[in-house]
Structure formats: structure tokens, C-alpha cells
A and B are shown apart, each in its own frame.
Chain A
């Protein structure tokens, strides 16, 4: 069992809450400033945001926005590992020297696991280039050429409802591939061991323990689970406390809160993507703890979470998306303008929305960290969920 590398990553828990939530500090090789956790990984396609122009990246909060998720599968059949190496790996190839890349195959939008076609040789994914069977050796060739700051081992991911037999096989394979991948580790980059196990607590525990044994960080999959908190806890209980935990697929705010409560530090999310494509802009108040205490009635009955800028009500709204938001979009443009862009199908709408939504969601993570540091995380969760429920209750009451 080989351990990958010495100092690609430093992680330390700075604040423990009463529960399992923790606030930490993560130092990654390519990133000059340490990042605070819990943190959000921003989604990319081939390393660049979907819409945000590269020259506007520095406008996002930093170092909050420093961690970018990339799926190696995006490069399958579009860029060979050879050419990626020639271009110097991700940071060099993209001219992003202040950012850190986290590489793992799963991309909730474009690269979804296709468990039916996976076998003992490799994991099957639906990629932009079609369905592909990814073997550990090919996967590692890509990882080595990309040179990410952190990467996850290849997993045989299965949904929660498969047979026990299939589920057990997925853990067996994932553990085997764990070793296959580690043995071909690149010279730098922190490795995260993939943890699967579906809805079976025992399998989750077994997988987590295998990862722990190899003294690496844990990477879990957050596909919709019935009993998510229990399953998450089963995993985090058996991972070393002083190492960071990353989860893929827990993207919605409520899911993030569940993950944080279970002791998870890093999250990727397709939430911003779906919001942006739908023409939605996040508006939920971030300063929850103070706001709710002062004005409990103020926010009853309104969907405080987001607005749909396609709606005609915004045609003449000359205000920014969120008053006081300092993102590029809110500093320069109005709701009316974005409404117009959406109506005439201009790509600028998606660019402006992705900027704002990213900014706002990073603000959400910042609020989570503050709450943990002030030991008010549970209250924060309660307030947040209460707001969501209030809106739904009021909507139902009005309808009735």
C-alpha cells in the first residue's frame, strides 16, 4: 500500500461545534492562500466555468472561489493525456495559477455513472463523448497529466436501490481500484479515497474503514438516500477526524447543511448550474441569525430563496438582483436587463446569472462557517429550514 506524496495538502480543524460540524483550514499546493471549510467546489467544463468569462473570475470572492471541480472525463476524446501533459497540466493549460483543481469523474450534469455497464475492469460513465468504460489505468493516466491539487480514486458507484449482491460488489471493486489508483499516483496532488456502499450502513462502514486504513481522505457520493443523515454519519464516523471529507452530489442548500452536520468539509454542486439555466437568481438572506431574531414576521410567506427573472414582473424592475450584493452582476446590471436578455435568448443572461448565483452561494458557505465558529450552527440550520417551510405553508394556505 503506497502513500502518495508528502505535502500537497494541509488540513486542520479550527473549530468543533457541539455536533459533528467543523470549521477548518485547507492549504492546497497551487493555491497561495489557505481556504476555509466547509467550502464549495465550483463547477467547470474542462476546467473553466460554464459561462463566467475567465477575466471575471478574479471578481469572485477569493479564496472562497479558488477550488474548482473538474471531471477528467470531460477530456476523453477531446484532449489526449499526452497533449495535456505537454501543456503543463490544468493550472498551466488554463493560466489559473491562484486556483486549485479537484478532479473526480462524477459530474452531476454531464458525466453520470452508468452502473449497469460497469464491470470488474472499469466503471462506466455517460460522458459528452458517449458511454465509456473507464479503467483505473486510463483514469490515472488522465489524473497524472492533469496534475490536480486533489483527486479521488475511481469508484463503482451504484444507486441506493440495487441488490445487496451488487452493492457488495461495488464496494469490493471500489476498494480494489483504490489500491490500483494509489499505486499509480502522480508526484503531487492529495488523494481522496472513494467511498460507496449505497443504502447499506454496513457496506458504507466497511468502505470507509478501508479508506481510513490507507490513511487518506474520504470521498463519498451523495445520491438521494432515504436515510441520508444516518448513512452520512456511518461514513464520517469511520474516517479520521483530522482529514478532510469531500462529497459529490449533495448540492442543494438543505443537503449541504445535512452534509456539514455529518462532518463533511468539501462539496461540489450542480445547484448553481440548474438555477442559472432556469433563469433563477438566488436571493435568500444570508445573515439568517440576525435577521430572524429581529424581524420574524418580515419574511413569512415569500419565497425568499430565489427569483425567476423570466417573469414579466421584472420587466421594468430597475433594481439589482439583490440590494447590497457586491457581485459584478448586481453592481452593473438590473433585473430588467437580465429579464430582457432571457427573453431574447442571449447568452449574457447565463453569464450574469452564474456570476451572481456563484457569489451568493459562496456567501451561504461563508454564513455556515461563521455560524460554526460562533457555535450557532444548529440554530442556523433551524432558521434556514424554517424559512423554507414557512414559504411552503403560506403558499398552501393561500391556495386553500
Chain B
């Protein structure tokens, strides 16, 4: 597979970096022992939230960062792979940690994921603990099997369901292995939001400060803002592209359903505040005529939705750097909940994150 260096799409305007108020400080990364191929440099913080710059073999990116999902090798942007997907013919297969790492070594992505044992968050009983301990045993096998530690960064995945005790054991054990980065797995599976944010909060508090934290399967823009406030850095989700295929666009006010009859006469762009190619060129009325009928409709909305997510990433990053993260969060929530009905779980999470959203 031929690969070309991707240019950063994260608005690397250096003038933005000059904004470093006195009370913020940069935290240099201590050289990780398990890999020499990535360096993350936290540029600024706001309480638990961090804005960092990650230098990888094929890419330099700024976090918080949303990564589009590249299932089956399509839509690659930042090259992250995991090899959890079943074979394309649908037959079940057993994947060992060694095989998983071997495949990922061949694919050559900058970040590779350890094989973990994931259970549904709705699971109860000893299965959760079994999965968590297995994940720890497997990380050592993954580390041993990894043939390219100088070029590919192996991230471990924290499991433990919704049980804080199990999560704590897992975080401590994985941290001991001193890996280039850590993912928080086993979430984004239908658990209630109140449980979800608490697990993220616990993990981000316990994981090493100088390593990236990747919350897998997240997600909705609101979830990303909350998790970033709690100290997470990276995200992935099928949501933006999947919802595009159903004719929905992501906007600051929430989800816009282009299939709705009212769109047929609406000459405005999908999001008047968005600078993407789709919003600069097409009207809601035109896209309405395409959605669910022509493939181009899905394409245009996917394009916009991904741009929206990357713009959100950029906004999070720079608002932290410029010391106006709470203002950004407030503004974000005001637009999404103009009647002030911010969900309770968000309020609770922001309290723990020490971000004052009282004004909204």
C-alpha cells in the first residue's frame, strides 16, 4: 500500500501558539521507554483539559483530536488501526494478541492498538473482571510481539466495565508497562451517560499526564467536549459519517435533518457558520433533493460532518491554548441548548472538571 505523508489539517497557524497566558505552562514529555517514535508535547492546560501537539512518523497533529473511522481501509486520515474487525466474508474468527500485532505491523499505521477483551457495558458479573485481567495479560503478549516499536506506537486499552475498582486495577497495571499512549475502552456502548463520564473522569485522573488518552468510540460532539474537559485527547467514531448517510448534518445547534420537508425551500447553507466546501457551495434545498436518493448526498454531508468534527477539535485545542476554554464550552452549550436545558450529566461532569458553566 503506497502511503504519502498527510499534511496537517489542524490549522497550524503558529501565531495562535503565541497566546500563552502566564498561568499556563507547557509540560514536556519524558522520553517513553516502550517507543521512540512519538512525542507528545502538552502545550497548554485548563484545569484537566489539555491541548497538545503529537508528532508521529506520518503526521503532526494537535489534540484534542477527532479521528474519522477508517473501516476497511477507507477514509484514512491519521493512520490508526486496530484489527478487531471480522473477516469480510462474515465468518467468525479468533484473533490472538500476536496475530493482531502482526497484522498491524504489516499495515504500518503510526498508532496501533493492543488486543483487549471487551465486554458490553451492560454486562454484569465476573465476566467484566475476567475481561479486564485478560486484557492485562494480553498487553504483555502484544508488547513482546511488536516488531516495529521505533515506527509504530502501541497503545494499551483500559477495560473494567463500569466498576471503579476494576478500572483502577487496570489503569495501574497498564501504566506500569510505560506505553506511548492509553485508550479508554469498553464505553460508547449504550451505557447511561452518568456512568460513562465517571469512568472517563476516573481514568483520565489516574493515567499518566504525559501520555495521550484516547477514548474509543466517542462520539457525539457533546461527549467530546465533556471528555476533553475531563482530560482526554483523542477520539474516534462512526457517527459523523453514519449520520450523514441517513441525511443528517452536524451543526452548532445540533443535528439538522436534511430529509425534512422544510429543507426543500431553504436556500441557506447547511451551517452558515461553517467554512467547508459544502457549506460554501450548496444550499439546504439542493442537498435535500439529493439525500436518500443519490450517493452524492451522503458524500456531501459526510464531508461537512467530518469538517465539523475537525473544526470542533481545532476549536477545543485553541481555546485551551488561548486560555478561554470555559468560554468556549459555555458558548458551545448555549448554541446546543438555547433554552438552558443542559443535561444533568454534563453539569455534573463539568463540576468535576472544574469548568464553570453556570452562565449557561
Give the B-binding residues of A (Cβ under 8 A). 45-46, 48-51, 53-55, 75, 78-80, 83, 86-87, 93-95, 128, 332-334, 337, 340-341, 343-344, 346-348, 350-351
List residues of chain B with CB within 8 A of the CB of A45: 290, 294, 296
Q: A45-B296, A50-B296 are in contact. List 13 more A-B contacts (CB 8 A).
A: A53-B303, A78-B289, A78-B293, A80-B264, A87-B267, A87-B283, A87-B285, A334-B1, A340-B72, A343-B88, A344-B72, A347-B299, A351-B299
- Smallest Cβ distance from B267 to chain A, in angstroms? 6
Could you write out 13 A-B pairs with CB less than 8 Å apart? A45-B296, A50-B295, A53-B299, A78-B264, A78-B289, A79-B289, A87-B285, A93-B286, A341-B73, A341-B74, A343-B88, A347-B295, A348-B75
Q: Is the CB of B281 within 8 A of A95?
A: yes
Q: Is the CB of A46 within 8 A of B74?
A: no
CA distance A49 to B300 in the complex (A): 12
Interface of B is mostly: helix
CA distance A51 to B298 in the complex (A): 10
Q: Is the CB of B296 within 8 A of A93?
A: no
List residues of chain B with CB within 8 A of the CB of A332: 2
List residues of chain A with CB within 8 A of the CB of B300: 54
Is B277 interfacial (CB-CB < 8 Å)? yes
List residues of chain A with CB within 8 A of the CB of B88: 343-344
Give the A-binding residues of B (Cβ under 8 A). 1-2, 72-75, 88, 264-265, 267, 277, 280-283, 285-286, 288-290, 293-296, 298-300, 303
Q: Is the CB of B296 within 8 A of A83?
A: no
Partner of B293, one of A49, A54, A86, A128: A128
A83 touching B265 in the complex, CB below 8 Å, given contacts A46-B290, A343-B88 = yes
CA distance A282 to B327 in the complex (A): 55
CA distance A182 to B75 in the complex (A): 48
List residues of chain B with CB within 8 A of the CB of A79: 264, 285-286, 289
List residues of chain B with CB within 8 A of the CB of A87: 267, 283, 285-286
List residues of chain A with CB within 8 A of the CB of B267: 83, 86-87
- Smallest Cβ distance from A55 to chain B, in angstroms? 6
Q: Is the CB of A348 within 8 A of B74?
A: yes
- Smallest Cβ distance from B310 to chain A, in angstroms? 15
List residues of chain A with CB within 8 A of the CB of B289: 46, 75, 78-79
List residues of chain A with CB within 8 A of the CB of B74: 341, 346, 348
A94 touching B282 in the complex, CB below 8 Å, given contacts A75-B289, A86-B267, A334-B2 = yes
Which residue, of A46, A334, A351, has the highest number of chain B Cβ atoms within 10 A?
A46
A350 touching B73 in the complex, CB below 8 Å, given contacts A83-B264, A344-B88 = no
